[in-house]
Amino acid sequence: MDSGTTVETAALFREAGWRIGNVHLENRVVLAPMAGATDSVFRRLAREAGAGLVCGELISARALVMNNRRTERYLRIDPAEHPVSLQLFGSDPEVMAEAAEKVAAAGADIIDVNLGCPVPKVIGGGDGCALMLNPDLVGRIVEAMVRAVSPVPVTVKMRRGWDAAHENAVEVAQAAAAAGAAAIAVHGRFRHQHHQGPVDLGVIAAVRAAVSVPVIGNGGISSPADAVRMVRETGCDAVMVGQAALGNPWLLGEIAAVLSGRPVPPPPTQRERVEMAIRHLQAFIALEGEKALPAMRKHLAWYIKGIPGAARIRDQINHMERSDEVIRLLRQYQEALSD
Ligand SMILES: Cc1cc2nc3c(=O)[nH]c(=O)nc-3n(C[C@H](O)[C@H](O)[C@H](O)COP(=O)(O)O)c2cc1C
């Protein structure tokens, strides 16, 4: 890669498809788990737009095991979104294993363990990124989950490390792989960086070199060129895209095309972006009801970001209480757009 502006067209992989355990994936692009965003509606749209695998947000293993009603909604899977990975957080191997059984029964194709969440509420309980300080416990968690749900693959998603003094992704990856993890996603940032700032590709390359299971590179990918650079510099088997796919699921298809040597599809028109916003809203309201409208506002803003007049439309939407009003506004906006 020279700069980030040109994209090679030669396929980076001999085969477009690959596997995590017994699960076949048609391409090497993964939608990252994102709390409050990657529900079953967005995951379905992301699959349709070209992701080979979609991931659900972190779910409390303890709450699942206690049959918490609010938590069980995170287990909803749309038949059109498979293959789908659902993620658990927790640090008690037995609780994680019991929760994994529930996630498997709900139809998840893959079950992931969260080793990256930086939020105080989560790390305060020794979960999420705090687990990276204890590779031995990571191994015991993965082992218990694998025993409980095999042949459903168990994977882990980790960070570069807890902080610069504890940059131990390789050690944690080796513990997870030895315990039976079927793939390892590495987000090349530390806990304090949350989801912003420089991403270290070197640590992803080091994990790739240290384990024999597939490694998924994550962090800072916002274009096909970024994805190519991630694969070239780390040797990762697949790329995971988070924030840049919000409001732009087409990016996932563009990256899938580039990684398999196909021409990049043209970007969506402004009208197509508004159409997607409407479809997303309709599907979300059909599933969650009118009361869920506020949760959709951020998605709608992401879809129209950068289109002329978007700020005004966003403000109007923020004052609306009913989805039919919002859809009418978006239709008018769409009709007025020049393309
Ligand atoms: C709003 C938001 C919510 C997130 N929630 C989760 C989560 O539930 N589980 C997880 O493993 N990572 C979570 N992440 C981290 C992403 O999966 C990803 O690792 C991170 O955003 C880096 O990728 P990116 O630079 O492509 O966005 C979240 C990130 C964001 C921005």
Same domain assignment for residues 96 and 181: yes
- Domain assignment present for residue 265? The answer is no
pLDDT tens track for 234-281: 999 999 999 999 999 999 999 999 999 999 999 999 999 999 999 999
Total structural domains in the chain? 2
- 5: pLDDT confidence band, cut at 50, 70 and 90? very low
Long-range Cβ pairs for the range 324-327 (8 Å, 24+): 326/281, 326/293, 326/300, 327/278, 327/281, 327/282
Same domain assignment for residues 220 and 281: no
Of ligand 1's atoms, which has the minimum distance to the CA of residue 240? Answer: 26
Same domain assignment for residues 181 and 246: yes
Domain boundary among 259, 289, 311: 259
Which structural domain, as residue segments, surrounds residue 306?
270-336
pLDDT tens track for 173-204: 999 999 999 999 999 999 999 999 999 999 99
pLDDT tens track for 204-241: 999 999 999 999 999 999 999 999 999 999 999 999 99
**Mean pLDDT value across the chain:** 96
Burial 62-97 (b: 16+ CB within 10 A, else e): bbbbeeeeebeebbbbbeebbbbbbbbbbbbbebbb
**DSSP states of 188-199 as a string?**
EEEGGGTT-S--
Same domain assignment for residues 100 and 149: yes
Instruction: Kindly report the pTM of this predicted structure.
Output: 0.96
Distance 325 CA to ligand 1 centre (A): 31
Same domain assignment for residues 253 and 287: no
Same domain assignment for residues 119 and 249: yes
Of ligand 1's atoms, which has the minimum distance to the CA of residue 220? Answer: 25
- Domain assignment present for residue 11? The answer is no
Domain boundary among 231, 259, 287: 259
Q: Which residues contact 268 (CB under 8 A, 6 or more apart)?
A: 250, 276
Distance 310 CA to ligand 1 centre (A): 25
Same domain assignment for residues 227 and 299: no
CA–CA gap between residue 45 and residue 40 (Å, rounded): 9
CATH number at residue 167: 3.20.20.70
CA–CA gap between residue 187 and residue 240 (Å, rounded): 9
List Cα–Cα distances, 131 to 68, 114, 134, 173, 233, in angstroms.
24, 9, 5, 12, 27
Same domain assignment for residues 184 and 276: no
Helix, strand, coil distribution of the chain in percent, nearest 5: 50, 15, 35
pLDDT of residue 14: 83
Domain boundary among 259, 284, 314: 259
Same domain assignment for residues 156 and 183: yes
Q: Which residues line ligand 1 (CB under 6 A)?
A: 32-37, 57-58, 87, 114, 116-117, 157, 187, 195, 218-221, 241-244
Kindly report the protein residue whose alpha carbon is nearest to atom 19 of ligand 1: 187
List Cα–Cα distances, 77 to 54, 103, 169, 240, 292, in angstroms.
11, 10, 31, 20, 18
- Domain assignment present for residue 211? The answer is yes
CATH number at residue 299: 1.10.1200
Q: Which of 195, 223, 230 to mutate to test the pocket of ligand 1 (most atoms within 8 A of CB)?
A: 195
Same domain assignment for residues 117 and 219: yes
CA–CA gap between residue 117 and residue 113 (Å, rounded): 10
Q: Are 78 and 45 in contact (CB under 8 A)?
A: no
Distance 315 CA to ligand 1 centre (A): 26
Q: Which of 243, 251, 298 to mutate to test the pocket of ligand 1 (most atoms within 8 A of CB)?
A: 243
Same domain assignment for residues 157 and 42: yes
Give catalytic residues, as residue numbers: 117
Kindly report the protein residue whose alpha carbon is nearest to atom 26 of ligand 1: 242
pLDDT of residue 191: 97
Q: Are 23 and 110 in contact (CB under 8 A)?
A: yes
Joined together, the tokens standing for residue 321 give 């209480």
Same domain assignment for residues 214 and 325: no
User: Rg for the chain (alpha carbons), in Å?
Assistant: 20
